[in-house]
C-alpha cells in the first residue's frame, strides 16, 4: 500500500496502482485520451503526462506505477505546456471539421482542446489521409479523424476477440484498420460497434440512417411504425444530459409520437414472443435428447444478439446447429408488423415502413441480411442507434425533458417485465426460465422477485442450474433433471466459454450470449461513454422497469395470447416457422 | 489439392510442395511465443514473397487475427506482398549511407534498371527496395543484392555491380574492386 504525494495531497493506494489511478482515487483530474479503465493503459497519447520528482523526463501517469514516497505534480508549467503541445500536435494531423462532425459536442479531443485552452494551432503540415470506409451497413470508419489511440484495436482484439482491426502500415501512414487497410465488409468483423463506442473522436461511428427515416416520415403513402429495444429506454436520457440509468420510457414514446410515427410499438412485445418460441424450441431439444435419446445439438444458444450470431458464423461454424433458430426480437417484430399487423389495418407489407431503435450497430447489419424478408419485402427498413434517436429528437426541435410520459400503442406495444430484462446480461435467460419453468412444473419460478441472482451482473461468465421437480405429466421425463445454464457477455468471454464446451471441460443445456459487455445496455449504439459504473446504472434501471410491470412473465402477456389465437396458432407452428425462425451460414474466419 | 506454378519462385518448385513445407514450419512454431516474425521470414524465403493465401494460412495456423499478421507485414519493409525478381537489390538509406551518397546510388540503380522502388524489372531479374540501416554504417554507402553486401558504392559503379547478377551475359563475375563481402 504505497503512500505518495500528488500535488499537495497525500494518497494511499493499493499495490500495483498507477499514478493515474491514485490521482483519480483522490479526486485529482488528469486528462486522458487513449486510456480505457481496466482495459488499456499504454501511454500512447501522451496526454496524461505528469512530473515526478527525481525523474528526468515527464512520465505518462497511466503507465507509471505509484511507489512509496513518490512526489507527483500534475499541474506545473512544464506539465501544462507539454500536454498542450501534445494536443496541438494531435490537432495538426487531425483531419476533422468539428461543426459537421458526428461527434460535435460529444468529442473527447474537442473537449480536451477546450479544457487545455488551446486557441490557435501553431503547427502546420500534412494531415492524416482521409479515407472513409462505408462498406458495412453498421459502421463508418473515417481514418482522417483517427488519433491512433488504439482503443478500437484493444477492444476489438482483447475484449471482443474478433481482431478485425489492427494498426496497419507505419509511421505517419499508420491506420487502425482491417488487414492492409481493406474495407470492414471484406473481413471477419461482427459489426458490434464496440470500436465506435470507445472511439474518442469521429473516426468510427454508426452508419447513419436518419435521412431515410425522415424520408419515410415525410412520405404520406407510407405507414411508418417504430419499435424500440428494451435497452434504449435506460440510456436515451443520457443524450439529453440526464444521469445514466434514468428511465425515460414514457418520454421516449411521447417523442416518437411527436416525430410523426403512425404507430409507436415496442420490441419488448416480440421479446415476449421470442421467449415463447425459444422456450418451445428448448423443450423440443430437451425432449429429443432426454426422452427420445436422439442426437441433439445442446446447449441451445440464444440468437438475439446479431454480433454474436455473426461471431459463431465466422469463428465457430461447428456450433451453428446449437444456435436457436429464433430470429431476434427486432426481426420478429418486422415480420409480424408487415404481416399480422398490416393485415389488421388493411395494408400491404410494402406500404408499412418499419423503423427500429436499437442500442446496437450490428442490428443495422442484421436488418439487411438477405433472409430477413419473411413478409415478402425487407422486414425492417431502417435501424437507428440510441444515439441517432437522440439526434432525430433534437433535429425535430423537441424538448425531451419536458415531455409527458405516454404509453406505447397496444397491439405490438404491450409487454411483460420479462421482455424488459432482455437488455441486461442474463436477462434473456431469466425471462426464459420464468416461462419454461412454469410450463414444465406448473409452478412459478421459486426465486425472490423472479430474479435469477447468479446470472445477473457484470461478471463475464456466469453459471447456475435449476433442478426440475414436481413436473407436469407432459414433462415427466424431466423429473429430477438438473438443467445447467451459462451466461456470457462480451465476445472474448463467449470465446472462452465456447472453447471450454468444445474441449469438454464444461457442458450446459442453455447458454445465453450477448455480444457487448454487460449486454445490450452496453451496446455499440448507446450514448457514449459507457463505463462499468454506467452499465450498472442502466442494468438497475432495466430491473426497475421489469419490477414496475404488472405482467412479469412473457406467457402471461395477453397480446401474446392474442397473436397466437388470431394468427400464429402455436409456437414452432407453420406460420411461426416461416415468420419467426431463420437459418445461418458458415463464413470465413479470415 | 490442385498445384500450380508459383509466380515468384524459379519455377522449379510447385506451390503445393511449398505449402507443405510451410505447414511443417507452422507445426514447429505453433506453440512457440513470438513465432509470427520468424514464420513470416521463413515463408518469404520459401515463396519469394508473401502471397495472401500464405498469410491467411499463417494467420489460421498461429491463431493470430489476419489483421495482426497484415499489420506486421505492412510495418517491416523487409516483407513483400508482391512477387519479386530473381535478385533483390536493397539500397540502404540509413543516416550514414544517406549522407555519404546513398540517394545518388539509389537514383543510379533506378535509372540503370528502369524501375521505381518496390517494382520488378520486366525480365523478372531484379527488384528494387530501400532499407533503413543494415547496421553496416562503416561501409557506407552500402547496398545489398540478395545476401551480398557491397560497400562504399558509387553511382558510377552501379552498372558493374548489377552486371554480376545478370545471367549468362558472357562477362566474368565479381570484377569490381569493392568486391563481395
Q: Is B5 part of a structural domain of the chain?
A: no
Mutate to test the interface with B, among A162, A168, A169 (most CBs of B within 10 A): A168
Q: Tell me, yes or no, if A371 is annotated catalytic.
A: yes
- Cβ atoms of A360 and A523 within 8 Å: the answer is yes
Mutate to test the interface with A, among B70, B77, B130 (most CBs of A within 10 A): B70
Domain residues of chain A, as ranges?
3-75, 104-206, 208-590
Helix and strand totals (H; E) in chain B? 7, 4
Residues B63, B129 share a domain:
no
Residues B135, B107 share a domain:
yes
Q: Tell me, yes or no, if A195 is annotated catalytic.
A: no
Residues of A with CB under 8 A from a CB of B: 157, 162-170, 177-180, 187-188, 589-590
Q: Which three cell numbers stand for residue A497?
A: 466459454
- Cβ atoms of A12 and A21 within 8 Å: the answer is no
pLDDT one digit per residue (tens) for chain A, 590 residues: 999 999 999 999 999 999 999 999 999 999 999 999 999 999 999 999 999 999 999 999 999 999 999 999 999 999 999 999 999 999 999 998 999 999 999 999 999 999 999 999 999 889 988 889 999 999 999 999 999 999 999 999 999 999 999 999 999 999 999 999 999 999 999 999 999 999 999 999 999 999 999 999 999 999 999 999 999 999 999 999 999 999 999 999 999 999 999 999 999 999 999 999 999 999 999 999 999 999 999 999 999 999 999 999 999 999 999 999 999 999 999 999 999 999 999 999 999 999 999 999 999 999 999 999 999 999 999 999 999 999 999 999 999 999 999 999 999 999 999 999 999 999 999 999 999 999 999 999 999 999 999 999 999 999 999 999 999 999 999 999 999 999 999 999 999 999 999 999 999 999 999 999 999 999 999 999 999 999 999 999 999 999 999 999 999 999 999 999 999 999 999 999 999 999 999 999 98
Dist. CA A433–CA A443, nearest whole Å: 12
Q: What angle do CA A198, A199, A204 make, to 5 degrees?
A: 120
Min CA distance, A153 vs chain B (Å)?
A: 10
CATH topology of domain A208-590: Rossmann fold (3.40.50)
Match 421425463 to its residue by C-alpha cell: A477
pLDDT at residue B6 is higher than 60: no
Residues B96, B54 share a domain:
no
Nearest to A166 among B55, B70, B81 (CB): B70
Q: B75 and A170: CB-CB below 8 Å?
A: yes
Q: Is B10 part of a structural domain of the chain?
A: no
pLDDT at residue B179 is higher than 70: no
The architecture CATH gives domain A3-75: Roll (3.10)
B157: containing domain: 87-163
CATH of domain A104-206: 3.30.70.20
Residues B99, B58 share a domain:
no
Q: Is B144 part of a structural domain of the chain?
A: yes
Residues of B in contact with A183 (CB under 8 A): none
Residues of A in contact with B75 (CB under 8 A): 167, 169-170
- Cβ atoms of A445 and A455 within 8 Å: the answer is no
Min CA distance, A163 vs chain B (Å)?
A: 5
Catalytic residue of the set A93, A281, A313, A545: A281
| Neighbour count for residue B133 (Cβ, 10 Å) | 15
Q: Is B31 part of a structural domain of the chain?
A: yes
Residues B111, B148 share a domain:
yes
Q: How far is CA A28 from the centre of its chain?
A: 31
For chain A, the C-alpha Rg in angstroms (whole number) is 25
Q: Is B178 part of a structural domain of the chain?
A: no
Distances A473 to A118, A132, A439, A479 between C-alpha atoms, Å:
74, 61, 11, 10
Domain count, chain B: 2
Q: A179 and B70: CB-CB below 8 Å?
A: yes
Q: What angle do CA A342, A345, A347 make, to 5 degrees?
A: 50
| Neighbour count for residue B53 (Cβ, 10 Å) | 11
How many beta-carbon contacts under 8 Å exist across A and B? 48
Q: A167 and B66: CB-CB below 8 Å?
A: no
3 state SS of A261: coil
Residues of B with CB under 8 A from a CB of A: 55-56, 59-60, 64-71, 73-75, 81
Amino acid at each position: 500500500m504505497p503512500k505518495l504525494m500528488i500535488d499537495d495531497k497525500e494518497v494511499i493506494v493499493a499495490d500495483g496502482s498507477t499514478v493515474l489511478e491514485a490521482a483519480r482515487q483522490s479526486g485529482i483530474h488528469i486528462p486522458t485520451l487513449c486510456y480505457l479503465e481496466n482495459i488499456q493503459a499504454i501511454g500512447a497519447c501522451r496526454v496524461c503526462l505528469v512530473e515526478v520528482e527525481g525523474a528526468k523526463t515527464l512520465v505518462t501517469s497511466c503507465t507509471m506505477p505509484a511507489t512509496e514516497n513518490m512526489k507527483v505534480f500534475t499541474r506545473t508549467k512544464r506539465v501544462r505546456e507539454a500536454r498542450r503541445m501534445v494536443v496541438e500536435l494531435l490537432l495538426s494531423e487531425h483531419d476533422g471539421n468539428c461543426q459537421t462532425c458526428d461527434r460535435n459536442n460529444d468529442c473527447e479531443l474537442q473537449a480536451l482542446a477546450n479544457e487545455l485552452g488551446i486557441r490557435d494551432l501553431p503547427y502546420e503540415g500534412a494531415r492524416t489521409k482521409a479515407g472513409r470506409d462505408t462498406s458495412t451497413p453498421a459502421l463508418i470508419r473515417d481514418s482522417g479523424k483517427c488519433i491512433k489511440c488504439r482503443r478500437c484495436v484493444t477492444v476489438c482484439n482483447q475484449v471482443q476477440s474478433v481482431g478485425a482491426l489492427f494498426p496497419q502500415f507505419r509511421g505517419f501512414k499508420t491506420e487502425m484498420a482491417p488487414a492492409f487497410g481493406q474495407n470492414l465488409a471484406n473481413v471477419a468483423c461482427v459489426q458490434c460497434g464496440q470500436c465506435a463506442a470507445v472511439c474518442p473522436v469521429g473516426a468510427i461511428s454508426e452508419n447513419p440512417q436518419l435521412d431515410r427515416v425522415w424520408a419515410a416520415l415525410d412520405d404520406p403513402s407510407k405507414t411508418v411504425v417504430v419499435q424500440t429495444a428494451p435497452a434504449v429506454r435506460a440510456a436515451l436520457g443520457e443524450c439529453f444530459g440526464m444521469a445514466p440509468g434514468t428511465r425515460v420510457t414514457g418520454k421516449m414514446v411521447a417523442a416518437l409520437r411527436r416525430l410523426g410515427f403512425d404507430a409507436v410499438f415496442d420490441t419488448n412485445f416480440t421479446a415476449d414472443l421470442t421467449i415463447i418460441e425459444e422456450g418451445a424450441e428448448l423443450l423440443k431439444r430437451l425432449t429429443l435428447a432426454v426422452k427420445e435419446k436422439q442426437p441433439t445439438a445442446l446447449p441451445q444458444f440464444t440468437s438475439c444478439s446479431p454480433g454474436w450470431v455473426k461471431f459463431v458464423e465466422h469463428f465457430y461454424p461447428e456450433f451453428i446447429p446449437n444456435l436457436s433458430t429464433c430470429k431476434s426480437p427486432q426481426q420478429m417484430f418486422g415480420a409480424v408488423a408487415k404481416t399480422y399487423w398490416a393485415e389488421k389495418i388493411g395494408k400491404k407489407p410494402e406500404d408499412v415502413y418499419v423503423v427500429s431503435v436499437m442500442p446496437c450497430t450490428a442490428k443495422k447489419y442484421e436488418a439487411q441480411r438477405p433472409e430477413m424478408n419473411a413478409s415478402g419485402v425487407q422486414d425492417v427498413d431502417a435501424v437507428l442507434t440510441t444515439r441517432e434517436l437522440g439526434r432525430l429528437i433534437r433535429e425535430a426541435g423537441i424538448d425531451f425533458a419536458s415531455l409527458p410520459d405516454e404509453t406505447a400503442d397496444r397491439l405490438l406495444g404491450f409487454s411483460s417485465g420479462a421482455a424488459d430484462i432482455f437488455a441486461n446480461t442474463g436477462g434473456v435467460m431469466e425471462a426464459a426460465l420464468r416461462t419454461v419453468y412454469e410450463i414444465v412444473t406448473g409452478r412459478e419460478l421459486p426465486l425472490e422477485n423472479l430474479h435469477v441472482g447468479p446470472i445477473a451482473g457484470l461478471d463475464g461468465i456466469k453459471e447456475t442450474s435449476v433442478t426440475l421437480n414436481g413436473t407436469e405429466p407432459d414433462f415427466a421425463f424431466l423429473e429430477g433433471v438438473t438443467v445447467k445454464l451459462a451466461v456470457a457477455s462480451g465476445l472474448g468471454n463467449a470465446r472462452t466459454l465456447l472453447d471450454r464446451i468444445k474441449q469438454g471441460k464444461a457442458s450446459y443445456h442453455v447458454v445465453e450470449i450477448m455480444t457487448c459487455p454487460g449486454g445490450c445496455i452496453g451496446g455499440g449504439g448507446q450514448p457514449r461513454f459507457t463505463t462499468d459504473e454506467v452499465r450498472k446504472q442502466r442494468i438497475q434501471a432495466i430491473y426497475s422497469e421489469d419490477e414496475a410491470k404488472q405482467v412479469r412473465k412473457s406467457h402471461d402477456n395477453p397480446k401474446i395470447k392474442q397473436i397466437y389465437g388470431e394468427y400464429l396458432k402455436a409456437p414452432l407452428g407453420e406460420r411461426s416457422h416461416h415468420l419467426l425462425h431463420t437459418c445461418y451460414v458458415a463464413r470465413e474466419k479470415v | 489439392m490442385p498445384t500450380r506454378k508459383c509466380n515468384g519462385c524459379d519455377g522449379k518448385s510447385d506451390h503445393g510442395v511449398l505449402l507443405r513445407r510451410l505447414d511443417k514450419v507452422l507445426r514447429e512454431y505453433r506453440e512457440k511465443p513470438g513465432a509470427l516474425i520468424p514464420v513470416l521470414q521463413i515463408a518469404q524465403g520459401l515463396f519469394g514473397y508473401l502471397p495472401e493465401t500464405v498469410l491467411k494460412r499463417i494467420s489460421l495456423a498461429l491463431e493470430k487475427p489476419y489483421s495482426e499478421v497484415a499489420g506486421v507485414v505492412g510495418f517491416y519493409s523487409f516483407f513483400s506482398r508482391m512477387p519479386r525478381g530473381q535478385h533483390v537489390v536493397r539500397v540502404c538509406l540509413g543516416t550514414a549511407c544517406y549522407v555519404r551518397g546513398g540517394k545518388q546510388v539509389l537514383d543510379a540503380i533506378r535509372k540503370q534498371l528502369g524501375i521505381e522502388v518496390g517494382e520488378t524489372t520486366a525480365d523478372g531479374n531484379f527488384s528494387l527496395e530501400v532499407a533503413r540501416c543494415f547496421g553496416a554504417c562503416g561501409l557506407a554507402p552500402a547496398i545489398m543484392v540478395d545476401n551480398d553486401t557491397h560497400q562504399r558504392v558509387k553511382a558510377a559503379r552501379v552498372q558493374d555491380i548489377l552486371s554480376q547478377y545478370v545471367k549468362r551475359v558472357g562477362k566474368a563475375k565479381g570484377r569490381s574492386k569493392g568486391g563481395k563481402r
